[in-house]
């Protein structure tokens, strides 16, 4: 089924207000979750809404709280999220990092004790819209195997990289360091699909393509073997230490059945503080055109990271957002 973007946004907002959210926070969260699905990131949009509601019910997300500054020196600040909405906190800290980068040229805002930020690309997009470079990352509870073990002792710790383009079609990568994100596994399970390659182990220690089996064992594989595991561990350490918050193993020991009390880092670089727009844009377009002009493999296509967002947005604004009927029924019944 397909539902107009405006209807989805208003419905999600209405339900959040019912669960104790102030109207402005509810509006922010509803818009971002609807926009995630609008731009084709179904794993971190409407399909994840019931998990957010359950986290509010369980006291893992506090809908009336918002992050506050703890300490700062120059372009580096530490904020505490107070378990408020991850989306609201991440937007606040992204905007603060952008503001600091205008003054200092580069800024780092590290956030502790926050909730899931949903799609990290949202904050990369915000940074690119401000004409700046973004490096944003979050940790997670231990949900991925370190290379060489079948024990989930690392988080898959998503990383977002963003570079603006003058035409607004920004270059944005948003990736976790597992072979498949939990969101993609959950979507595949919902749709009854197998993964094209093994994504983790079953409970007997055998590699599996079955998303339901992998989700049950919580033994997902790192992307790129030891390389993905190494990057995930370092992202976890950097965000936890820079915010003086929880690392993945500490998050895993917290009470509750879902993820909360994360650490996140928002780094913003203002290239125009030391250079000019014309040269900056020329560098970006040179790199993008090199990729787009590459000869695709037979039957394949070539695109740069983030290019598909515009296509999904146009299509879903015209036709409505694709929504799983069971998920929408549950939301409307709240």
With beta carbons less than 8 A apart as the criterion, state whether 153 and 249 touch. Answer: yes
What pLDDT score was predicted for residue 182?
80
Classify domain 67-273 at the CATH class level.
Answer: alpha beta
Query: Rounded CA gap, 243 and 109, in Å?
Result: 8
Please state the rounded mean pLDDT for residues 76-87.
Answer: 98
pLDDT beyond 90 at 29? yes
Domain boundaries, the chain: 67-273
Q: Which residues pair with 222 in a beta bridge?
A: 178
- Give the confidence band of 1 by pLDDT, cuts at 50, 70, 90: very high
What pLDDT score was predicted for residue 256?
83
pLDDT in tens, 147-193: 999 988 999 999 999 999 999 999 999 999 999 888 788 888 988 99
Please state the rounded mean pLDDT for residues 212-241.
Answer: 94
* Neighbour-count burial for 146-173, b at 16+ CB within 10 Å, e otherwise: bbeeeebebbbbbbbbbbbeeeeebbbe
Q: Give the angle subtended at the CA of 15 by the CAs of 264 and 265, to the nearest 5°.
A: 5
Record the pTM.
0.94
| 170 given a catalytic annotation | no
pLDDT in tens, 90-112: 999 999 999 999 999 999 999 99
Name which of 38, 56, 5 is nearest 256 in CA terms: 56
- Give the confidence band of 313 by pLDDT, cuts at 50, 70, 90: very high
3-state secondary structure the chain: CEECHHHHHHHHHHHHHHCCCCHHHHHHHHHHHHHHHHCCCHHHCHHHHHHHHHHHHCCCCCCCCCCEEEEEECCEEEEECCCCCHHHHHHHHHHHHHHHHHHHCEEEEEEEEECCCCCCHHHHHHHHHCCCEEEEEECCCCCEECCCCCCEEECCCCEEEEECCCCCCCEEEEECCECCCHHHHHHHHHHCCCCCCCCEECCCCCEECCHHHHHHHCCECECCCHHHHHHHHHHHHHHHHHHCCCCHHHHHCCCCCCCCCEEEEEEEECHHHCCCHHHHHHHHHHHHHHHHCCCCCCCCCCCCCCCHHHHHHHHHHHHCEECCHHHHHHHHCC
pLDDT in tens, 44-66: 999 999 999 999 999 999 999 99
Tell whether the torsion through CA atoms of 116, 219, 40 and 176 is positive or negative.
positive
Asked which of 147-161, 184-198, 274-288, 301-315 is least confident by mean pLDDT, the reply is 184-198
- Give the confidence band of 258 by pLDDT, cuts at 50, 70, 90: confident
What pLDDT score was predicted for residue 39?
96
> Which among 44, 136, 170, 260 is annotated as catalytic?
44
Place of tokens 């079609």: 169
Please state the rounded mean pLDDT for residues 215-219.
Answer: 88
Please state the rounded mean pLDDT for residues 257-281.
Answer: 95
Q: What is the mean pLDDT of the chain?
A: 95
Query: Rounded CA gap, 158 and 255, in Å?
Result: 23
What pLDDT score was predicted for residue 181?
82
pLDDT in tens, 123-156: 999 999 999 999 999 999 998 999 999 988 999 9
Which pair of tokens denotes residue 78? 């530490």
Name which of 208, 227, 224, 228 is nearest 216 in CA terms: 208
The number of angstroms, rounded, from the C-alpha of 51 to the middle of its chain's C-alpha atoms is: 15
Number of Cα atoms under 13 Å in the Cβ half of residue 324: 19
pLDDT beyond 80 at 233? yes
Report the percentage of the chain scoring pLDDT > 70: 100
What pLDDT score was predicted for residue 323?
94
Say which residues have a Cβ less than 8 Å from residue 8's Cβ, sequence separation at least 6: 34, 37, 46, 321, 323
Which pair of tokens denotes residue 23? 């109207």
pLDDT beyond 80 at 229? yes
β-pairing verdict for 159-163 and 262-269: unpaired
pLDDT beyond 80 at 257? no
- Give the confidence band of 218 by pLDDT, cuts at 50, 70, 90: confident
Around Cβ 217, how many Cβ atoms within 10 Å? 19
What pLDDT score was predicted for residue 24?
98
């Amino acid at each position: 089924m397909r539902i107009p973007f405006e209807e989805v946004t208003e419905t999600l907002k209405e339900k959040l207000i019912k669960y104790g959210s102030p109207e402005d926070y509810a509006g922010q969260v509803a818009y971002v979750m609807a926009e995630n699905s609008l731009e084709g990131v179904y794993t971190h949009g409407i399909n994840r809404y019931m998990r957010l509601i359950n986290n509010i019910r369980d006291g893992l997300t506090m809908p009336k709280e918002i992050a506050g500054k703890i300490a700062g020196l120059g372009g580096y600040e530490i904020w505490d999220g107070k378990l408020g909405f991850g989306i609201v906190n991440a937007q606040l800290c992204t905007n603060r990092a952008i503001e600091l980068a205008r003054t200092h040229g580069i800024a780092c805002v590290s956030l502790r004790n926050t909730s899931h930020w949903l799609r990290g690309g949202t904050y990369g997009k915000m940074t690119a819209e401000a004409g700046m470079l973004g490096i944003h990352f979050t940790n997670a509870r231990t949900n991925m195997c370190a290379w060489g073990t079948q024990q989930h002792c690392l988080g898959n710790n998503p990383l977002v990289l963003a570079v603006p383009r003058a035409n607004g079609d920004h270059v944005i990568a948003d990736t976790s360091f597992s072979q498949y994100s939990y969101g993609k596994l959950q979507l595949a399970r919902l749709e009854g699909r197998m993964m094209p390659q093994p994504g983790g182990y079953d409970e007997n220690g055998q590699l599996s393509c079955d998303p339901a089996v992998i989700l049950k064992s919580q033994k997902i594989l790192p992307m790129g073997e030891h390389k993905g595991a190494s990057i995930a561990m370092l992202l976890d350490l950097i965000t936890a230490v820079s915010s003086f918050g929880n690392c993945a193993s500490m998050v895993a020991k917290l009470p509750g059945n879902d993820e909360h009390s994360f650490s996140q880092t928002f780094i913003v670089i203002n290239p125009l503080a030391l250079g000019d727009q014309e040269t900056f844009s020329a560098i970006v377009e040179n790199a993008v055109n090199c990729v787009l002009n590459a000869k695709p493999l037979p039957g394949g296509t070539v695109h740069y990271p983030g290019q598909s967002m515009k296509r999904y947005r146009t299509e879903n604004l015209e036709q409505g957002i694709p929504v799983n009927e069971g998920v929408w029924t549950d939301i409307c019944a709240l």
